[in-house]
Structure 1
Amino acid sequence: MLGLDPSIVHAQVATAEQRSACTPDAFRLCSGEIPNIPAITACMRQNRSQLSPACKAVFPK
């Protein structure tokens, strides 16, 4: 996961709105990965079906 995956790069430069939409889901689903952004991103993608609607919009299929 250390490559230049555009989705990970995107997650590292997430807007305040995107962070706001996904922070509760990150704590709920991926708290063990915090503060590792690439690991959080991977975890969020793996748990996409459990994300809130607002956060799902940040992680398209």
Structure 2
Amino acid sequence: MSRLVLTAVSLLGILLTNTAFAATRNEQTAACKGDAIRYCAADIPNEQKITVCMKAHLQQLSPECKAMFKQPATSKHKKVLKPA
């Protein structure tokens, strides 16, 4: 079980570093470790499957974990479309 927890924590950290939310890895792990084990234990250690699983369970995630997946409300850099 402890190996499962360590693997989940490691993969969860990698998964969440790809989000645009500026939280530290420790904050991400603390917020989502329980949810990753609860909803996605069968997908560990496959990072892609964990990503899909966590997003599929987004509505069931704890508020703290759900916040890690949300994009910032505003972006400092707006994409400028160039005429064709």
Regarding TM over 0.5, the answer is yes
Moved over 4 A (4+): none
Alignment-derived partner of residue 10 in structure 1: 18
Match for residue 47 of structure 1 among 50, 57, 69: 57
Query: CA contact under 8 A between 1:30 and 1:40: conserved in structure 2?
Result: yes
Between Structure 1 and Structure 2, how many residues are aligned? 53
- Point out the structure with max Rg over C-alpha: 2
Gaps of 5+ in 1: 1-6
By how many angstroms is 1:44 displaced?
Answer: 0.4
How has the CA–CA distance of structure 1 residues 8 and 20 changed in structure 2, closer, same or farther, with 3 Å as cutoff?
closer
Could you tell me which runs of 5 or more consecutive residues in structure 2 were left unpaired when the two chains were aligned. 1-14, 72-84
Aligned-residue CA RMSD (Å): 2.3
TM-score when normalising by structure 1: 0.71
Give CA deviations for 1:4-41 in whole Å, capped at 9, x if unaligned.
xxx77616xx7121012111000000100111222111
